Amino acid sequence: MRFGALSYLYLIWLVPALIVLSLYSFGRKRKTLAAFMNLGLAPQLLPHMSRMRPWLKAGCLIGAVACLIFALMQPQWGRRWQDVPQRGRDMMILLDVSRSMLVEDIAPNRLERAKSDIKDLVQILHREGGHRIGLVAFAGRASLQCPLTLDYAFFLQKLNAVGPYTAGRGGTLIGDAIRQALHAFGTLTHNYKDIILITDGEDHESFPLEAAQAAAEQDISIYTIGIGDPETGSRIPVQNDQGERTYVRYDGREVQSRMQENLLLQIAERTGGAYVPAGVRAIELDRIYTDYIAPKARRHLDIAARERYVHRFQWFILAALLLLGMDICLQEGNFNASPRIQEDA
């Protein structure tokens, strides 16, 4: 058995709360009754009152609440195969792996934060199915790490492997990354392709706006996410030959890396995408996908057979209704019966 909505588990506290309330209520009734008569004479004085029915009524109510909670948690067991039409878009993730992405102005650093948020996006795409996703890592050159694929496990394997030395050379060439993504898309149908660019915005004369214009001509939107502190900036940590931690220096001074917003904004505007200044906060790629990409048209693919768990919540709703019906029908006593009057002979 598994549950489709385990978040409702917190409601289970209602069951012990109702048990405690019922015990308190029975105790109060017993105490009130004891104030008027000897409890040992109650069966003779109140023969129409049942001692078991109040407990049965309380049990029915508590059982009904427990069943409704289980129904909300969507219990599932058993599996069946179901034909599911595959519909989705093609997305290329362009991830900056230059040394400036090692800056720690967002924990643990810009690169690891970006990789973590990309994994959150992959979870959503996996649940929906039908979307193909690819990965381009870039720094001083752009490298296709994962072609468009429906194999999300393979994509995550490639994502985990990328780092500052994946792209081979230092620097940041955003334009080359965009052109590499356009080449990876190939001659696929237009209108179903998106690029998500994650970078701190630095570029070394790679003509990114010209590359963005080429994407716009193919109806490809680019969603740019700027990561890093745009105000004060931070030092870029590296290790020297002795393995000691130091910082990148230029002309004898430590380099301060700041997130550059203007270029990312222009790229997004030119392609009809959106610019998201994540800064030193979580990127929230799942929200960006939901707001900007999910509402767009999707390409129809082949129908795929998918194994699904069978929902069983309806049985718990039926049980709850039966228990509530029993609770309504049960009376605490037999009020049609009257005590027998014995006449003296």
Looking only at Cα atoms, what is the longest distance across the chain? 124
338: helix, coil or strand?
coil
Q: What's the pLDDT score for residue 209? A: 94
Query: What domains are defined for the chain?
Result: 2-78+311-329 (no CATH), 84-301 (3.40.50.410)
Instruction: With CA atoms as reference, report the closest residue to 298 among 132, 118, 184.
Output: 132
- Express each pLDDT in 169-199 by its tens digit: 667 889 999 999 999 998 766 678 999 999 9
- Express each pLDDT in 122-134 by its tens digit: 999 988 888 999 9
- Express each pLDDT in 260-310 by its tens digit: 889 999 999 999 999 998 877 878 888 889 999 999 988 876 655 566 778
Q: What's the pLDDT score for residue 47? A: 55
* Residue owning tokens 């050379």: 169
- CB of 135 closer than 8 Å to CB of 92: yes
218: helix, coil or strand?
coil
Instruction: With CA atoms as reference, report the closest residue to 50 among 337, 255, 343, 344.
Output: 337
Q: What's the pLDDT score for residue 304? A: 56
